[in-house]
Structures are given as C-alpha cells and as structure tokens.
Structure 1
Amino acid sequence: MKSTIKKWLPALLLCAAQPALAAETTSAVALPNLGYEGNVTPLPPQDGAAAPKQWDRALPFFAQRVVDRGIDLPNPYDVGFSYYYTEQNMLLSNLKVSVNDNPLRSAGFVAFPKSTLENHSEQVQVGAWLFPFMNVYGIAGHISGGGDIGLSIKADDAVQFITGIDRCSGRRKPDWCGKTLEATARANYDGYSYGVGMTLVGNLDRLFFSLPVTYTVSNVSMSDTDAKSLNVAPRVGVNWQLGDYGTVMTYAGATYLHTTVTITGSATLPTSETDIGEDTKVNFSIDEKIANPWNGLAGFHWMVNRNISLMAELAFGARQGYILSAFYRF
C-alpha cells in the first residue's frame, strides 16, 4: 500500500472524480481502511514498486480508479466462520396462559422479577466488496440458548384464574390469601438463522471507522413466529503495521440491537399450598424484547496475510458476550 488516504470515505470521492485524476499517484505509505460485517479487516503491508497495476477482478466496482491512485485493495471475496456468545436481560409483556388444553387467556396480573437469556451461535459468512468503501455479505447458521423466566403471582389471582372461583372475597379467608407465589419457567431453544448486511468503511491517516448494518431472521423451537433482528455497530480504531506479522486493527465502539419475538412454553405454579391441593402446570405465550438495546464493545482484528485474518471482540455493559471469527479471502 503506497499512499496516504486523506479524507473519510476516500474511495467514494475517487469514484466521483474525473478520469484524469484517477491516474495520479503518491509515494507515502497508505493505511488500510476496509471492514467486514463490522469485523474490521486491515490490509497487510505490500512489497514491490508503487507503480499502478491493472485490476483484473470483477469486483469491487470502480476498483481501477482506486488502484490508479496507488491504493492497494484486498482480495474481493471472503468466507468466514464465527462463534458468538451473549448474555442479556429481557423485557417480558403480554403474557397469556392456559391450563391443560384450554385456549390461552391474558394474564396481566403476573409479574416478571427477572429474565436473563444466554445465546450461542455458529455462523458462516460469505461476503464481497461491492465498492471499495462498501462490503456486502450474507450469513447463515445455527443458534441455541436458554434461560430462566421468573414469575410472581398472588395466590388469590392464581386460584381464581385456574378454578374460576374467588375464594378470598368472603369474611372467612383461607390462610393462603394474600400470599405471593413464585415460579420459574425454563426457556430453552434451538434453531437456525439467516440474514444480510453491509459495512461502510473509511479512514483518516491511522484512524479508521466502520459502520455495519445487519438484518437477521431466526427460526427457533420455542417460538411459533420468526424472530427478526436489526444490528447497527459503529466502530472507531487505530491501524498497527507489524511488518512480517501482518497488520492489526484495535477498535472500540457500540452495538445497537433491536429484536422482538413471542416465545411459548410451560411453567409449574406452586398452588399446592392453596385449596387446589397440587401444583398446576400452565402453558404460556409471552412477548419478549431486549431490555437494553445498546452495549459497548472492544476488539482487535489481525490480518495475517492477504488470505487469512482472525478477529476477537468483547461486548460489555447491559449485554455481555464475545465473538471469535476467522476469514479466508480470495
């Protein structure tokens, strides 16, 4: 790489430039400015003369104009594998429950002290540089996880809901009237997901930024409907040239994640202490969304050479987790 990029989104400016400007070259050392699905991807240092070369690949569009300016481009196609883990609090609403095979009914009198879910995902990612400043990609993979959903309900309401009789309205009330029943529903799920996205990238000297936007659809066993998610994750970082060891980009940023899903399952209410005389198994349906859509992140991406790169990222704050990725470029 043989030039210094002086403006944000330099390739966008080059694409709009006149053909005469496309033949200009400089002799300073350029810094990488590219990314993949928010997993920033540096270019390795390049050996050889700074003379322009002929770009012989179909993508990215307008690549020759960039190459004629002395800016080297990465291999345009990439395949990656990622493992993702996260733990996050959820907001629950619109609970509906039923006993036995009866239809679901609204149960707004049930409270949810806490709900925390863990997620695991293995994803394959296939991408290409559509423009020198834009990567597009598709993802598909397996997801699984689970967690405990806390339930809190007054014994009066539970008995009336199950039996249809208000046994705590008379003068002589059972001793369980007024008590609060606590229960935990275990929500385990397994399924698959797929999606598409794009990343916009740019840099200013050693500083770089990337803005990935990803939309995914997940089909999981504990939901009768697909879960749809939107992820936006701006990142800012610094490039570090390591000579024979490639290039490393260290970065920090934030992630916004919006997702909603209706989950279904069953829970056991401890009604044995009431006049019912035994615990009651109920079916439930409940709407779920992430309690805090924003979290912080920090990570690094090591471009070992033009073909191989490795990435690790840590999420912190309201949503905690990590992602490990490996990419092959060709």
Structure 2
Amino acid sequence: MKTTIIKWLPAVLLCALQPALAAETAPGLALPDLGYQGNVTPLPPQDGAAAPKQWDRALPFFAQRVVDRGIDLPNPYNVGLSYYYSEQNMLLSNLKVSVNDNPLRSAGFVGFPKSTLENRSEQVQLGAWLLPFMNVYGIVGHIKGGGDIGLSIKADDAVQFITGLDRCSGRRKPDWCGKTLETSARANYNGYSYGLGVTLVGNLDRLFFSLPVTYTVSNISMSDTDAKSLNVAPRVGVNWQLGDYGTMLTYVGATYLHTTVTITGSATLPTSETDIGQDTKVNFSIDEKIANPWNGLAGVHWAVNRNISLLAELGFGARQGYILTAFYRF
C-alpha cells in the first residue's frame, strides 16, 4: 500500500494505537463489517516526564533528533486487544439464483427491502513506531455476525422463473397473479481476518490529529472468496494532562469503510399458494457492499502511564457501533 507521508514536523509525534476489525466481515446474504476500524490516536507525553537525553531504542528512526528538542516519545512497540461491534445497512446487487440443483442464472426481478447486518470482532494488534510521526501495525482476529436480509418478488415472476410458464398473461388469471411474495434470509457467518496499516500523527500544542489507513482481508464461512476492506479514519482532538493519573485525549472524526464481497447461500420462497403447490428452496449468489461508507465517531484515549493505555470509541450515523481496546507499550 502506498502512503503519502506528510512533511515531518519536528514538534509533532506522539503515540498512536488502534484496535480493530470491518472488518470489520461479511456475510450470508449479509456483508459483515470487515476490516480493522482504524482507531488510532496519538499518545502525548506524560505530564512532568523528562525526555531522556539519549534514546536507546532501535525505533523509531530519527528519534534522537526529536528527543534533542525536548519531546518525550512514547515506548516504540505495542500490543493491543480489541472488541468491536457495529450495525449497518447493506446494498445488494447482481443477484443470481437457482432452484434446487439447477445452475445459477440472473434474477434481476428480485427486490431487496432494507437489510441490516450486525458484526462482532475480537482482534490482536502488533505495532511499532517506524518514524516519530508514523506507526505501522499488523492485525489478526476472529469475526462473527449475522442479520436478516429481506427478499421480495412478484408471484408472476416467481412462477415463471421456476416453472418456465407464464400463467398470468392470459384472460383467466389465478388469484395469486399480481401479488408480491416476501421472505427473509438469515445471514450468519464467522471467520477470521488479517491486515496491515499505517497511522500518521501530529500535534500543535494541545491539539492533535491522527490519520490511520488500514487494509484487511477476511475469510468468512458464507463466501467462496475473501472479502477485502479499506479503512480511512481521520481524527482531531485535544489532550488533557491529569497529573498522577496520566494523560487523556478526547477526539472526534469520521470513518470511511469500503468493503465488497460476493456471498452465497439459500432461502425459502413461500410459493405454496401458487400453482407450484409448495415452498421453493432458492440458492443464490449476490454482491454486497456497505450502503453508507462514511460515519461519524467520538472517542477517548486514556494513557494511564508509559506502558498502559485504554481506548473507547463510539460510532454514529449510517454505521453505529463501538470499540474497546487495551494497549501495552514497551
């Protein structure tokens, strides 16, 4: 992944971290929120902490130049544990269906009422400060979720698709002609995800900014192919010195999450009251993506000391959810 690094500001930098994952995934007619959520925020120096005269770590590169300016850098390595929950609407397209063991074929006449997906993820993140203003990280985690996917189809089209006969074009039409059949398919899935990311951070006095960019791949039970996600999450906030209680950052921002995946499954269509005489099992293949890729966020990151920090973040708008993360830095 190519990332454009902003011009380094000597007085910026300080710690960032993240949780996870979109990812964060994806689906049984429903596409999970695959991917790491890019929750990374800078960690400012502790109140009263004296910057060491000599930086004795291999990373970050150019650390001594920053230390010489009196800036206290965070410990360069970190391990994070995260729990993530989200709820969002999905867009479904390019539906292909078949009856029983017949091959799939296009079925553009099927409609999809509002479909909502819930996603849960537990993730582990390993990160390091490569440069004073740039943190790189890798993530791996377990994902699971589900949701109800609405399906609607005219009885005329359903009978013609299944039997090949147009029973509603003649003068004498069955009672079910013109009616709309509705059902829902429950999408349950589980799997794992992994990815890489980079975060740029900076500050100006008590103000700070953070720009994490994360790419993840998810393997889930209801898709024949991996789901891939791109997450960009700019943040801006203020740091507060708490004396003996460390430092707290409060921030707001937005998250852009782009995820697409082709999923497969089956649903039962209620055709028993038509000429078919019984309900029909329909197999399907469908492309899914997030209906609204942008959502707002607000969070707090408490740096208890140089080794431990805690993060809580709330997502709102088109995609709602929360994330809780604990970090150990060394």
Same fold (TM > 0.5): yes
Who is 1:302 aligned against? 302
Instruction: Tell me the alpha carbon deviations over residues 198-247 of structure 1, each in whole angstroms, 9 at most, x when there is no partner.
Output: 10000111110000000000000011111100000000000000000000
2:171 paired residue number:
171
Looking at structure 2, the residues matched to 83 and 166 of structure 1 have their Cα atoms a distance apart, in angstroms, of 52
- Report the CA distance between 1:49 and its aligned residue: 5.4
Aligned to 2:103: 103
Question: C-alpha offsets along residues 72-95 of structure 1, whole Å, 9 cap, x if unaligned?
Answer: 111100000000000000000001
Letter of the structure 2 residue corresponding to residue 251 of structure 1: Y
**1:46 CA displacement:** 5.2
Which of 15, 18, 31 aligns to 1:34? It is 15
Distance 2:147 2:49 in 1: 55
Letter in 1 for 2:16: G
Query: How far off is 1:32 after superposition?
Result: 6.9
Tell me the distance in 2 between the aligned counterparts of 1:270 and 1:60. 62
Structure 2: any 5+ residue segments left out of the alignment?
A: 1-5, 19-38
Q: Which whole-Å CA distance do the structure 2 matches of 1:184 and 1:46 have between them?
A: 56
For residues 213 and 9 of structure 2, the distance between their equivalents in structure 1, rounded to whole angstroms, comes to: 22
Asked if the contact 1:83/1:121 (under 8 Å) is kept, the reply is yes
Aligned ranges 1:1-330 → 2 under 5 Å: 12-14=8-10, 33-37=14-18, 38-45=39-46, 47=48, 53-330=53-330
Alpha-carbon distance in 1 for matches of 2:91, 2:131? 39
Describe the superposition over 1:274-305 as per-residue Cα deviations: whole angstroms up to 9, x where unpaired.
01111101111110000000000000000000
Shift of residue 44, structure 1, vs aligned partner: 4.8
Distance of aligned partners of 1:53 and 1:46 in 2 relative to their CA distance in 1, 3 Å threshold = farther
Using the size of structure 2 for normalisation, the TM-score is: 0.90
Partners of 1:44 and 1:303 within 8 A in 2:
no
- Partner secondary structure for residue 272 of structure 1: coil
Structure 1: stretches of 5+ with no match in the other structure: 1-8, 15-29
Contact 1:34 1:202 in 2 (8 A): no
| Offset of residue 31 of structure 1 | 8.9
Verify the 8 A CA contact 2:40 2:199 in the aligned structure 1.
no
Distance across 2 between alignment mates of 1:225 and 1:58: 40
CA contact (8 A) 1:32 1:239 kept: no
Shift of 1:171: 1.2
| Alpha-carbon distance change, 73 to 44 in structure 1, aligned in 2, over 3 angstroms | closer
CA distances 1:25-52 after superposition (whole Å, capped 9, x unpaired): xxxxx997432233214245254656x5
Q: Does structure 2 retain, via aligned residues, the 8 Å contact 1:145–1:189?
A: yes
Q: Residue 277 of structure 1 aligns to which amino acid in structure 2?
A: G
Check the 8 A contact 2:263/2:287 in 1, yes or no: yes
Separation in 2, partners of 1:153, 1:301: 48
1:41·1:302 contact (CA, 8 Å) conserved in 2? no
**Distance across 2 between alignment mates of 1:215 and 1:291:** 19
Secondary structure of 1:39's aligned partner: coil
Aligned CA-pair RMSD = 1.5
Q: Output one character per residue of 1:168-188: Cα deviation in whole Å (capped at 9) or x when no partner.
A: 111111110010000101111
Percent pairwise identity: 85
Amino acid across the alignment from 2:242:
L
The Cα of 1:67 is off from its aligned counterpart by: 0.6
* In structure 1, C-alpha distance between the alignment counterparts of 2:286 and 2:47, rounded to whole Å: 55
CA 1:46/1:237 → structure 2, altered by over 3 Å: closer, same or farther? closer
Q: TM-score, normalised by structure 1?
A: 0.90
Give the count of matched residue pairs.
305
Q: Secondary structure at the match of 1:156?
A: helix
| SS of residue in 1 equivalent to 2:222 | coil
Distance across 1 between alignment mates of 2:45 and 2:308: 10
Asked if the contact 1:110/1:152 (under 8 Å) is kept, the reply is yes
The 8 Å contact of residues 47 and 243 in structure 2, kept in 1 or not, is answered as no
Q: Which one has the largest radius of gyration?
A: 1
